[in-house]
Amino acid sequence: MVSCLFFLIVATIILDFIYSLFQNSSFFISESLLFSSFWLLFFPLTKLLLKLIQPNKLWQNICFTAIITCFHLSIYPALIWFLSKTFYYHTFPYWQTFNFGITEYAVKSILIYGFVVTFFVYINKSQRRTILPQEKQTLKQSFISSIITSDRNKKKIIIDVNEILYFSANSPYVNIFHLSKKYLHTETLKSLETQLDDKQFIRIHKSHIVNSDKIISIQSRKNGDYDVTLIDNTNLRMSRNYVAKFKSNFGKQHHLAIK
């Protein structure tokens, strides 16, 4: 951005010089440099604008752009007045410079600030489109794939979660019903629920989380509840409070609609 501002200042001075040649008038580089200070104000005001704008709030961004533009055009003549009064023999009046700024720079300011806002919003949306799939992938990979627990001999056992039929609350512990045997795990059902893929391991009751891959049948009890049968012929009751979430997650995992 600094290089762009430097380019604009140099370009303004060159244009002033060319204009003076065509008009056969005097050219003073000190005055040209003074009035080129308009471009220097873009540096702090653009940084301020970028802190104010929000990617998804169009009208708010338009208002902030208009406010910053008006503020720029207002403090520019004040800056010229101060610098000319401090360093120059001739002091340029505020309103004279203000009218000059409106005529010369108003449209340019709107276009530049508008471009900055548009570019910022575009970059922000592009980054979100790139980051969100990565975040989803990271979230997907964060689900546990195995559980370390102990058997009756206090031997540490690593259990593949895909081989688990269901979890059952046994406060303050949890029973893990595996294909081969049952294990007692020192963790709560609520804690496990946050670590498991909720499309595969679905809460069907306040005391049960079931592996949907191990379900072979679902039978309505005609009262809002359901009987869920697993591959080992275990029957679990699904409470009506969990039916809606079960249907949604089970359908996503198995691409089926549950009536």
pLDDT tens-digit series, residues 177-194: 998 889 999 889 999 999
Mean pLDDT, all residues of the chain? 84
Every domain of the chain with CATH number 2.40.50.1020 lies at: 146-254
- Classify residue 147 as left (phi > 0), alpha (psi -120 to 50) or beta: beta
Range list of H helices, 149-242: 189-195
| Over residues 93-98, mean pLDDT | 94
* Strand partners for 249: none
SS3 string of 1-57? CHHHHHHHHHHHHHHHHHHHHHHCCCCCHHHHHHHHHHHHHHHHHHHHHHHHCCCCC
Which of 65-68's residues contact partners 24+ apart within 8 Å by CB, and which partners? Answer: 65/110, 65/113, 65/114, 65/117, 68/113
Tell whether the model's pLDDT for residue 233 goes beyond 80.
Answer: yes
What percent of the chain has a predicted confidence (pLDDT) above 70?
86
d(CA 89, CA 251): 81
Distances (CA, A) of 144 to 62, 105, 183, 194, 200: 46, 60, 17, 10, 12
| Whether pTM exceeds 0.95 | no
Tell whether the model's pLDDT for residue 27 goes beyond 50.
Answer: yes
Q: Which fold has domain 146-254?
A: OB fold (Dihydrolipoamide Acetyltransferase, E2P) (2.40.50)
| Over residues 130-141, mean pLDDT | 51
d(CA 185, CA 97): 79
Per-residue confidence (pLDDT) for residue 138, from 0 to 100: 47
| Longest Cα–Cα distance in the chain | 103
* Strand partners for 251: none
Tell whether the model's pLDDT for residue 213 goes beyond 90.
Answer: yes
CA dihedral 139, 145, 150, 155 (to 10 degrees): -130
- CB of 201 closer than 8 Å to CB of 212: yes
d(CA 108, CA 11): 14
Tell whether the model's pLDDT for residue 246 goes beyond 80.
Answer: yes
Q: 139 pLDDT band (50/70/90 cuts)?
A: very low
For residue range 155-174, what is the model confidence (pLDDT) as tens digits?
Answer: 888 999 999 999 999 888 99
- Per DSSP, the three-state class of 82 is helix
